[in-house]
């Protein structure tokens, strides 16, 4: 089940401006995916370790959160490389390790961003650059609803299994999938309507004006931003 991964603590990374974190993430992800050469990967790994340590997130907690993604991806890509890649065993292993490193780094940076970014920062960040707050609130609510929807989906699956439904590949798999999709859509829409009514009953006006927060760029924002831009520039040299 999806759980909320934000960890509230006081650290240099947590206190960064929302846009510093978001833009750095947008710069780093394409680097890891396809721009950065092999020689740049150690620097990206080192940068990730630095950010993780500065965030003051317990390493054991971070590992428990990410291991469900890291371990299957690592072994899965290594096996695929051994089967489908060309060359000697060593070349296949190296290619698999390189591909796994890129995928794992992508996931680790994304999860770390979620751990250090409070959902309330989304609408506040949008307001700082003049984007209507209703879009930020929508994003924040969607982010917050993920654990709830995940729990509802698990409940629906368990309910269908208790009625004798099996979700294995084979004849009639589409009908069995539809038996899940329809209750999930109904539950999602029902939850959305209830949440919308709750927001409106508490006086929230999606088209109204609210106080625009001040930009809180600090020296740490400039430093981290310059490091990200520097890594991007070096990768093209």
pLDDT in tens, 32-77: 877 778 888 888 899 999 999 999 999 999 998 898 889 999 999 9
The number of residues making up the chain comes to: 237
Check whether residue 137 and residue 119 sit in a common domain.
no
CA atoms within 13 A on the CB side of 45: 12
Q: Do 116 and 172 have their domain in common?
A: no
Answer whether residue 84 shows pLDDT above 70. yes
Q: Is residue 6 part of a domain?
A: no
Q: Which domain holds residue 70?
A: 18-124+216-236
Q: Are residues 180 and 148 in the same domain?
A: yes
Token output for 106:
């992508």
* Whether residue 114 is found in the same domain as residue 39: yes
Do 105 and 158 lie in a common domain? no
pLDDT band per the 50, 70, 90 thresholds, residue 116: very high
Model confidence over 185-213: pLDDT tens digits? 888 788 878 888 888 888 877 777 777 66
CA distance 158 to 152: 10
The reply to whether 175 and 146 lie within a common domain is yes
d(CA 52, CA 62): 9
More confident residue, 157 or 1: 157
Phi first, then psi, for residue 20 (nearest 5°) are -60, -50
Asked if 118 and 28 sit in the same domain, the reply is yes
Q: Does residue 159 sit in the same domain as residue 92?
A: no
- Looking at the structure of the chain, the number of domains it has is 2
Is the same domain home to 110 and 62?
A: yes
pLDDT at 1 over 70: no
pTM of the predicted model as reported, rounded to 2 decimal places = 0.76
């Amino acid at each position: 089940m999806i759980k909320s991964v934000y960890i509230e603590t006081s650290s240099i990374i947590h206190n960064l401006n929302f846009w510093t974190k978001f833009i750095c993430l947008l710069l780093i992800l394409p680097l890891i995916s396809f721009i950065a050469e092999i020689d740049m990967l150690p620097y990206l790994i080192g940068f990730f370790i630095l950010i993780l340590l500065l965030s003051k997130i317990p390493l054991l907690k971070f590992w428990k959160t990410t291991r469900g993604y890291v371990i299957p991806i690592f072994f899965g890509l290594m096996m695929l490389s051994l089967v489908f890649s060309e060359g000697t065993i060593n070349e296949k292993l190296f290619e698999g390790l390189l591909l796994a490193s890129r995928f794992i780094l992508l996931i680790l940076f994304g999860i770390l961003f979620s751990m250090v970014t409070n959902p309330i920062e989304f609408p506040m960040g949008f307001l700082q650059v003049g984007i209507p707050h209703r879009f930020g609130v929508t994003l924040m609510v969607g982010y917050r609803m993920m654990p709830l929807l995940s729990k509802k989906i698990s409940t629906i699956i368990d309910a269908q299994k208790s009625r004798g439904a099996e979700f294995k590949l084979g004849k009639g798999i589409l009908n069995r999938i539809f038996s899940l999709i329809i209750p999930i859509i109904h539950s999602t829409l029902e939850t959305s309507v209830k949440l919308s009514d709750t927001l409106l009953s508490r006086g929230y006006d999606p088209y109204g004006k609210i106080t625009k927060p001040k930009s809180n760029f600090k020296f740490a924002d400039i430093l981290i931003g310059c490091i990200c831009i520097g890594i991007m520039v070096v990768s093209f040299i």
